[in-house]
């Protein structure tokens, strides 16, 4: 008996739809997603133990060898840390599942941000956050080893994936802060987009503290939020020639729930004194002297509205594509 022709048609229909979905993902998001998939599949299922360990240690941040492998400051953001030779196949499979979760969030948010910004700005933003976070984690782990002599954390690989996802969540907070994650059912919980980055960082800090998340994942998540906010607040070039989003709605304290903001405000002031004034002065020197209050008030209302419109356009485009794919899938299943 031969293969049912309808099954063959349905299979190739799924393959075509899958390829179309891959092609619909923008370049930067697709490239990093491809690296994550190749590493996760290879380390978990295809490579022998010694080769899997070699790949992980060649891409993840290892404090003991980071000076000789400087590229790991970046590549650690797209690789998970467990290899089958270190902790067994079951743990490697758990890491594979975790990588799948990271990948789903990365593709969903990364595609949205890249469609809104373009590939060059997306790449610059992600690289800045990942390198800056790694540049803090690396010396911190070296100092920790000097104090505790904990070799497992010094010679073991570290994943920076939480920082990458945290950075994209901060963009969501900037563009659509009042959007309710999960629909109106979450409104009572207050889980609006503006709180998700801090919730993400807090989750990894707690999980790492109880041993359910890899080493430094809490630090990477928190630093991802911090450096993404710094980039968007002071560094990102704007259409009017200025830099950063200086609106009151994007102050650092707005990342936190209302009861906590009174304690966070002093930290915001310190960050502005150390970093913000210097970066703002560099921007004003490029354009000539401009009163800071005029710059802030002139640019943010119109620019924020433009960004929101772009975000909504990107979301609508994704929804239309998903509807088209669903219709094609239904048609192929009826054949």
Residues 95-108 have pLDDT tens digits of 667 777 888 888 88
Three-point CA angle 6, 12, 16, nearest 5°: 140
Nearest residue to 229 (alpha-carbon basis) of 247, 252, 207: 252
How remote is the C-alpha of 38 from its chain's centroid? Answer: 19
Cα–Cα distance for residue pair 300/307, rounded to 1 Å: 10
> pTM score, two decimals?
0.77
| Cβ-based neighbour number of residue 140 at 10 Å | 14
Q: How far apart are the first and last CA of the chain?
A: 21
Nearest to 200 by CA among 178, 176, 171, 231: 171
What pLDDT sits at residue 202? 94
CA–CA distance, 198 with 201 (Å, rounded to integer): 5
Rounded distance, CA 99 to CA 41, Å?
A: 10
Sequence-ordered list of residues with C-beta below 8 angstroms from that of 162, at least 6 positions apart, any chain: 200, 201, 204, 217, 218, 220, 221, 224
What is the Rg, in whole angstroms, of the alpha carbon atoms belonging to the chain? 22
Please identify every stretch of the chain with a pLDDT value under 70, giving residue numbers as ranges. Answer: 1-22, 42-47, 49, 81-96, 181-191, 275-335
Residue labelled with tokens 């992600």: 126
The distance of Cα 169 from the centroid of its chain, to the nearest Å, equals: 7
Tens-place pLDDT, residues 263-322: 888 877 777 777 666 665 555 554 444 444 444 444 455 555 566 666 566 656 655 655
What is the rounded distance in angstroms from the CA atom of residue 226 to the CA atom of residue 322?
Answer: 33
Question: Rounded to an integer, what distance in angstroms lies between the CA atom of residue 53 and that of residue 67?
Answer: 19
What was the pLDDT predicted at 222? 95
Give the pLDDT score at 215: 85
């Amino acid at each position: 008996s031969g293969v049912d022709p309808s099954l063959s048609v349905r299979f190739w229909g799924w393959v075509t739809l899958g390829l179309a979905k891959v092609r619909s993902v923008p370049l930067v998001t697709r490239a990093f997603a491809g690296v994550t998939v190749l590493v996760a599949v290879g380390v978990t299922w295809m490579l022998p133990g010694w080769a899997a360990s070699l790949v992980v240690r060649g891409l993840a941040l290892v404090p003991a060898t980071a000076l000789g492998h400087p590229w790991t400051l970046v590549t650690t953001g797209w690789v998970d840390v467990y290899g089958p030779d270190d902790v067994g196949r079951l743990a490697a499979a758990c890491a594979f599942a975790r990588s799948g979760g990271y990948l789903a969030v990365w593709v969903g948010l990364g595609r949205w941000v890249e469609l809104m910004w373009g590939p060059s700005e997306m790449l610059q933003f992600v690289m800045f956050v990942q390198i800056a976070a790694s540049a803090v984690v690396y010396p911190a782990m070296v100092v920790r080893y000097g104090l505790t002599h904990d070799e497992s954390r010094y010679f073991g690989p570290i994943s920076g994936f939480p920082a990458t996802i945290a950075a994209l969540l901060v963009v969501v907070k900037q563009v659509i802060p009042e959007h309710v994650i999960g629909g109106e059912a979450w409104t009572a919980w207050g889980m609006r987009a503006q709180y998700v980055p801090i919730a993400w960082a807090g989750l990894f800090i707690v999980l790492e503290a109880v041993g359910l998340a890899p080493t430094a994942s809490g630090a990477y998540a928190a630093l991802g939020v911090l450096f993404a906010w710094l980039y968007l607040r002071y560094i990102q070039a704007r259409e009017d020639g200025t830099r950063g989003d200086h609106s009151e709605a994007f102050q650092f304290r707005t990342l936190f729930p209302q009861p906590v903001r009174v304690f966070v405000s002093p930290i915001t002031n310190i960050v502005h004194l150390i970093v913000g004034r210097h970066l703002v002065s560099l921007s004003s020197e490029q354009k000539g002297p401009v009163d800071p209050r005029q710059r802030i008030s002139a640019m943010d209302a119109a620019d924020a509205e433009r960004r929101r419109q772009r975000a909504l356009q990107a979301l609508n485009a994704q929804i239309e594509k998903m509807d088209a794919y669903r219709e094609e899938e239904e048609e192929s299943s009826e054949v």
